[in-house]
Amino acid sequence: MGELEHKYEVEIHVTEEKQKLSDDVKNELKGSGMMDDKGKLKLKGVSPKMLKKMKQEFVNCPVLKKEIQFVQCFICPNFQSRVMGKVLCKGDSLK
């Protein structure tokens, strides 16, 4: 199997602080069925333990040019894969 095409390798950082998703991201998650009406995340193939870990992680997004929560990165169309503490990102423009 060949390597995934990606433009960026983005380092994943961990914080002890609780991070909040923006209202835009929450609406996008609810619209795609990844979050219920109570605000609980329901990502297929992601265990509750992993989800808890993901909520404490963030990346410096090269596309949006700001720090975003890893969950937002995970649902982005540019997300390719997570490999050994890094995210492979296509780097395409959003919208």
Q: How confident is the model over 4-40, as pLDDT tens digits?
A: 788 999 999 998 887 788 888 888 888 888 888 888 8
Q: What is the DSSP letter of 9?
A: E
CA-wise closest residue to 57 among 39, 78, 82: 82
The CA radius of gyration of the chain, in Å to the nearest whole number, is 13
Query: What mean pLDDT is predicted for residues 55-71?
Result: 93
- pTM of the predicted protein model: 0.82
| Percent of the chain with pLDDT strictly greater than 70 | 97
Q: List the one residue out of 69, 75, 66 whose CA is nearest residue 55.
A: 69
pLDDT at residue 81 in the model: 92
